[in-house]
Amino acid sequence: MRIEKLMVNCLAGTLITGCVATLEQFSEMGPYDRALMVCDNSLEARAQKRKINSMADKIYTLSSDIALRRGVLDRGYRIHRECWRQYATRTVCQELTGGRIECKEERDPNDWVGEEVCEETPVTIDADYEENKLEGELERLASAKIKLGNLKSGYRDNRERCYLRAEQLSPEEAYEHYKNQDEPSNDDVFYKI
């Protein structure tokens, strides 16, 4: 229950200043809870999480590109879309010498936002070229999925080793690693992993 309360406090505190636990809180925790705090707060764990998230984003982008390319192939043509901002106009007339009146259209100064206007034009495609690009994207997607799986597996393995080492630390040693945002090495523990 204490670790849950601490994690909630850390989550709320992270939004403001980062998670900060005290040595007293570490002394009250059990070995596994201390290990979680040490290992999940390390710079290495955060870097690994960023790599995993980056690869997941890459997979999402590739999947979206593949879906778009398949849509183009199914449709048989691309749609080129050109957009611009169109503002309201008003007619302004003025009397010239000789009694002649001249009118012209000008942008309405009260229209600050305007309206987006788009024109879509169908464009023919080279189906062979599009299929080759699709094959390349599918290969990159498969490779990225393998890399993501390896990153996740490596992350889990590293976390598990870190937890095993950190559980052997005293509250004071665990707190020092937590404070320094580093993970314990085999040299830090009695039982070597």
Residue 154 lies in a domain: no
Give the model's pLDDT for residue 12.
42
Location of structure tokens 């390896």 = 150
Residue 11 lies in a domain: no
Residue 25 lies in a domain: no
Residue 48 lies in a domain: no
pLDDT in tens, 35-77: 999 999 999 999 999 999 999 999 999 999 999 999 999 999 9
Residue 120 lies in a domain: yes
Number of domains in the chain: 1
CB-based burial label for 136 (10 Å; 0-12, 13-18, 19+)? exposed
- The number of C-alpha atoms within 13 Å of 13 and in the hemisphere containing its C-beta is 10
Residue 96 lies in a domain: yes
Give the domain range for residue 109: 78-124
Residue 166 lies in a domain: no
Residue 104 lies in a domain: yes
pLDDT over 60 (residue 11): no
Rounded to 5 degrees, φ, ψ at 74 are -65, -40
